[in-house]
Amino acid sequence: MRKIKDLDVNELHEVVERVKLLRSLGCSYGKIVDIIADEYRLRLSKATVIRWCKGTHDPFNRIKRIVTEPSPELSYVIGVYLGDGSIHRKSNGKYLIKLKVIDEEFANAFAESLQRLGVKTTVGLESDSTRVDRFYVEGSNKTLFQLLSSSKETLFSLSERYPVQFLRGFFDSEGFPTVNAGKTFDVKVGVVNSDVQVLKFAKKLLKELGIRSRMVKLYSKGHEFTIRGEVYTSNVDMFVLWISRFGDVVSFYENVGFTATRKSEKLRRAIELKESYPPAEAIRMWLIEYEKRGRGYVKRANLFKPPINSQREGAAGGSWPSPGGVWYGKDTREKEG
């Protein structure tokens, strides 16, 4: 048997209206409790039914309504959620939507989208001596939490009207530009995820924009990899969706792109060099501005003001340098529990 807190906003509205209708038909309060239990598998107290019928309590007072119709902001939030975002239901009744990333621009874009949907957010910088500092975004809203808990088919349906915004959110989370500056000069864009269904949806949206892509397995479950000196073992198969043909890479940059400056500028500069110079000259100029770090390239520190943390490499050859930035204020996030 369910409780009121288990209902989404639409279900709650339907139940309240049903209670009021039954009372108008002459049903006793006790009879209404039994009917609702049978029809909705919902446990209501007699006192709750009385308050609803007499109008002394509005069950929607503590639920902040937000925009849940398809929109650019909702598509972006869903794209982020299917990448780096997460949701968490706390024991105190809070329904959290969360994101932790190293790029300030990405954090701000996610926070702005949540706010436009009607979700109040907290943004700040989290310092951790064991890893690079990260910006966090945290909002609390039951309606959005329940929406994001829906099936992937539902999320895809809500997102496909605004494919660019969904793809921007997903690639902001899991995507990266990568450059080959060896014997040839090539640039491509990838996005990594363990969920084949999500990658196939992204591939479908890219195709609708005229951008070709291909999906390949990056590594299998049980694969070992090292992060900051620690060895980890993957518990899932991991896949990457590649945009490899140069015309498609350019189209991605012009129509989707990245929010984070470090990714956007890296892609922009690589495209500019490939379009403007022969391969040997493009390689020479690239290596003046970027240096090889692990499996990818990062901008040379002497060409710009160093960020607050040292740069680090990301999966599949993408590079994720730590961001510069400022503290936004007192840490008011909900504690885990």
What pTM does this model have?
Answer: 0.75
CA distance 36 to 325: 53
Q: pLDDT tier at 52 (50, 70, 90 boundaries)?
A: confident
Predicted local confidence at residue 205, as pLDDT: 98
Domains of the chain: 4-54 (no CATH), 72-161 (3.10.28.10), 170-320 (3.10.28.10)
- pLDDT tens column, 185-239: 999 999 999 999 999 999 999 999 999 999 999 888 887 777 667 777 878 888 9
Is the CB of residue 85 less than 8 Å from the CB of residue 145? no
pLDDT of residue 316: 37
pLDDT confidence of residue 17: 84
CB atoms within 10 A of CB 25: 9
Question: Which DSSP symbol is given to 53?
Answer: H
Q: How far apart are CA 16 and CA 11, in angstroms?
A: 9
* Digit-coded pLDDT (tens) for 120-134: 899 999 887 677 789
Looking at residue 152, its pLDDT comes to 94
Residues 6+ apart with CB under 8 A from 335: none
Of 7-11, 110-114, 149-153, 178-182, least confident by mean pLDDT is 7-11
